[in-house]
Amino acid sequence: MAGPPLTDSKHGRVLSGRRVLAATGAATALVCAPGVPATAGQLPASTHAVAAPRVVPAPASLRTLPGVSFTLTRKTKIVARPGSGTAGGYLAGILRRSTGYPIPVTGAGGSRGAISLVVSRHEKGEAYHLAVTKASVRLEAGSAEGLFRGVQTLRQLLPPAIESPTVKPGPWTMPGVEVADSPRFAWRGTMLDVARHFFTIQQVERYIDQAALYKINTLHLHLSDDQGWRIAIDGWPRLATYGGSTAVGGGKGGHYTQADYTAIVRYAAARYMTIVPEIDGPGHTNAALASYAQLNCDGKAPPLYTGTDVGFSSWCIAKPVTYELLNDVLGQLARLTPGPYLHIGGDEAHSTTAADYATFIEKVGPIVGKYGKKMVGWNEIGAAKIPPGSVAQYWNTAKGSEGGTQTARDAVAQGAKVVMSPANHAYLDMKYDQSTPLGQDWAGLIEVRDSYEWDPATLVDGVTEKDVLGVEAPLWSETIVTNDNIDYMTFPRLPAIAEIGWSPQARRSWDDFRVRLAAQGPRWSAMSVNFYRSPQVPWPAS
Ligand code: IFG
């Protein structure tokens, strides 16, 4: 190869032939076949291309091992040590489908030629350590959950075709790396609004698998709103059968039986994802009010609503039956939900007086606590008295000390933590640009860069790193009906939010992220994810 020796832009080192492509950001680095020496500038005789690692979210630290790679073969096995949880079986399922290899999973065995998953006391929580060498792959974590997170990194070291649901030709080679990784925030979430349009269990499970690839660990299900009530409640059958019978646009609705909900919870748990159910109130309650006349202050049930206005409905704050209902609803949800949180909504209560709003929140908080759960609410709850340990979900577009940020500070002042979901950065139902066929634009247009370039710990004055529990990207479904619609609005912005939730702020830059995000495109194609090909991202020609 002619021309001056290439230097590593960061350290000015002259690179050997093996690393020159990786250092120039090329999608592949050339790796010598075993035993073939390479010297600077001379390309080794027999090599095959091994993609340089392009992992999202960016690991806290990743070191490439030049000239080292690990190739899956028919002999590759997974050694999942006791306590390693679902990670081994989950990874084997993915690898078997696309390689056609048997990929047995055993509880013990040698590490040579194997992928070993080991829970050790050297790591804690979701932290993991991944070492890929020529002879073996070793993933070590402080918990089964940490192994599952590390498996997502391991997947992304393999060629995109590894995500194919059918057998593809190899080679199945991953670059030698050493990764030491752990998350910045505990709550890395997405929300699926199943109230405006209903999504089947299969659609929710598909969304869970997509989100799990980016280390998302929380799925918030918006189970009730003006247009639909989506969970069956014993003793109040009409909530689901009538209140869930339609949707935005007047089409067919639907609801989850409690067995359905339990199936979703279990599917999520096998991916170390916590379900946070939301029963919105005191606003956004028309579906329930339409189902039972006695819930209304005037004793009259309004008609079902299939439009997209907000703020016109309210629980009847003065009536005891309101709290009898919520006691049953929240009690049954608490029993069905292993996670620590119940979300009680609290947004856009434009038809509830401020005094009644405070009364409502102060009555519902203790009900949530009685069932052993922590209360989550949209940030307006900060205006009321809330139990310490509550969580305020910030959704306004205001920043710094602008008007809409005050209730977030009020919540923090009462000992609450904050989940950051600013609508002008994290709302997945916002259009990318004016030509986007789906979504809304009331919070502004959100291209991928807008969803990435913000810091949850500095956006709102008085809400600092220690106050932020995490981030969440809500997908409101007024305009979202099909899997293709879900994909188009979610990808590529959910991985951006996932990186904000996982990676160290100091490791994040748009110029680096967009290159790693581009490498996700062929993976989404292999997974049949209908993603938006943002002009801001250098997608590879695939
Ligand atoms: N705001 C409403 C949502 C939904 C959204 C659509 C919140 C907390 C607008 N409340 O966001 O119900 O309609 O972008």
Overall average pLDDT of the 170-195 stretch? 98
SS3 state at 402: coil
Ligand 1: which residue has its CA nearest to atom 5? 476
Residues 6+ apart with CB under 8 A from 419: 187, 189, 376, 391, 392, 393, 394, 468, 469, 470, 471, 472
Eight-state DSSP code of residue 222 = E
Distance (Å, rounded) from C-alpha 244 to C-alpha 229?
Answer: 5
Tell the residue number behind the tokens 């949180």, with chain if given. 341
How high is the pLDDT of residue 437? 98
CA-430 nearest atom, ligand 1: 14
Q: Is the CB of 394 under 6 A from ligand 1?
A: no
Please calculate the CA angle 280-417-310 and round it to the nearest 5 degrees.
25
Please calculate the CA angle 49-55-57 and round it to the nearest 5 degrees.
175
Q: Is the CB of 347 under 6 A from ligand 1?
A: yes
Q: Is the CB of 306 under 6 A from ligand 1?
A: no
Overall average pLDDT of the 374-400 stretch? 98
pLDDT averaged over every residue in the chain: 92
Distance (Å, rounded) from C-alpha 256 to C-alpha 262?
Answer: 9
pLDDT in tens, 334-344: 999 999 999 99
* d(CA 293, ligand 1 centre) in Å: 26
How high is the pLDDT of residue 122? 80
Residues 6+ apart with CB under 8 A from 320: none
Q: What is the DSSP string of 461-492?
A: TT--TTTEEEEEEEE--SS--SHHHHHHHHTT
**Pocket perturbation via mutation, ligand 1, pick of 194, 224, 348, 480 by most ligand atoms within 8 A of CB:** 348
Residue 7 pLDDT > 80, yes or no? Answer: no
Residue 24 pLDDT > 60, yes or no? Answer: no
Residue 22 pLDDT > 60, yes or no? Answer: no
Query: What does the block give as tokens for 85?
Result: 């949880």
**Pocket perturbation via mutation, ligand 1, pick of 395, 445, 472 by most ligand atoms within 8 A of CB:** 395
Residue 8 pLDDT > 60, yes or no? Answer: no
Residue 15 pLDDT > 50, yes or no? Answer: no
Longest CA–CA span in the chain (Å) reads: 85
What percent of the chain is predicted at pLDDT more than 90?
Answer: 88
How high is the pLDDT of residue 38? 40
Q: Is the CB of 427 under 6 A from ligand 1?
A: yes
* d(CA 341, ligand 1 centre) in Å: 20
Q: Is the CB of 70 under 6 A from ligand 1?
A: no
Ligand 1: which residue has its CA nearest to atom 4? 476
pLDDT in tens, 54-63: 999 999 999 9
CA-348 nearest atom, ligand 1: 10
How high is the pLDDT of residue 454? 98
Residue 501 parent element (H or E) = helix 493-502
Q: Is the CB of 440 under 6 A from ligand 1?
A: yes
Distance (Å, rounded) from C-alpha 520 to C-alpha 512?
Answer: 13
Please state which of the ranges 111-115, 121-125, 195-199, 248-252 shows the lowest mean pLDDT. Answer: 121-125
How high is the pLDDT of residue 533? 98
* d(CA 331, ligand 1 centre) in Å: 25
Q: Is the CB of 310 under 6 A from ligand 1?
A: yes
CA-284 nearest atom, ligand 1: 12
CA-474 nearest atom, ligand 1: 11
Query: What does the block give as tokens for 212?
Result: 């799990």
* d(CA 393, ligand 1 centre) in Å: 12
pLDDT in tens, 258-297: 999 999 999 999 999 999 999 999 999 999 999 999 999 9
Overall average pLDDT of the 328-357 stretch? 98
How high is the pLDDT of residue 459? 98
Give the C-alpha distances (Å, rounded to integers) separating 55 from 51, 487, 514.
11, 20, 11
Overall average pLDDT of the 472-498 stretch? 99
How high is the pLDDT of residue 50? 84
Q: Tell me the pLDDT band of 542, cut-offs 50, 70 and 90.
A: low
CA-427 nearest atom, ligand 1: 14
* d(CA 476, ligand 1 centre) in Å: 7
* d(CA 15, ligand 1 centre) in Å: 52
Residue 13 pLDDT > 50, yes or no? Answer: no
Residue 111 pLDDT > 80, yes or no? Answer: yes
Pairing of strands 187-193, 173-181: unpaired
Ligand 1: which residue has its CA nearest to atom 6? 476
Residue 252 pLDDT > 90, yes or no? Answer: yes
At position 307, the amino acid (one-letter code) is G
Q: Is the CB of 270 under 6 A from ligand 1?
A: no
Catalytic residue positions, numbered: 348
Q: Is the CB of 432 under 6 A from ligand 1?
A: no
How high is the pLDDT of residue 48? 58
How high is the pLDDT of residue 124? 85
How high is the pLDDT of residue 49? 67
Q: Assign residue 100 a region (left: φ > 0; alpha: ψ between -120 and 50; beta: otherwise).
A: left
Asked if residue 364 lies in contact with residue 281, where contact means CB atoms within 8 angstroms, the answer is yes
How high is the pLDDT of residue 264? 99
pLDDT in tens, 421-463: 999 999 999 999 999 999 999 999 999 999 999 999 999 999 9
What percent of the chain is predicted at pLDDT more than 70?
Answer: 91
At position 363, the amino acid (one-letter code) is K
CA-378 nearest atom, ligand 1: 8
Taken in order of first residue, the domains within the chain and their CATH numbers are 6-181 (3.30.379.10), 187-505 (3.20.20.80)
Distance (Å, rounded) from C-alpha 459 to C-alpha 506?
Answer: 16
How high is the pLDDT of residue 5? 35
Q: Is the CB of 476 under 6 A from ligand 1?
A: yes
Q: Is the CB of 180 under 6 A from ligand 1?
A: no
Q: Tell me the pLDDT band of 498, cut-offs 50, 70 and 90.
A: very high
Ligand 1: which residue has its CA nearest to atom 8? 347
Overall average pLDDT of the 89-116 stretch? 96
Overall average pLDDT of the 343-364 stretch? 98
Pairing of strands 137-141, 128-132: antiparallel
Query: What does the block give as tokens for 342?
Result: 């119940």
Overall average pLDDT of the 298-312 stretch? 98
Ligand 1: which residue has its CA nearest to atom 7? 347
Asked if residue 491 lies in contact with residue 533, where contact means CB atoms within 8 angstroms, the answer is no
Neighbour count for residue 37 (Cβ, 10 Å): 10
SS3 state at 37: coil
Query: What does the block give as tokens for 435?
Result: 């030509």
Dihedrals φ, ψ of 499, to 5°? -70, -40
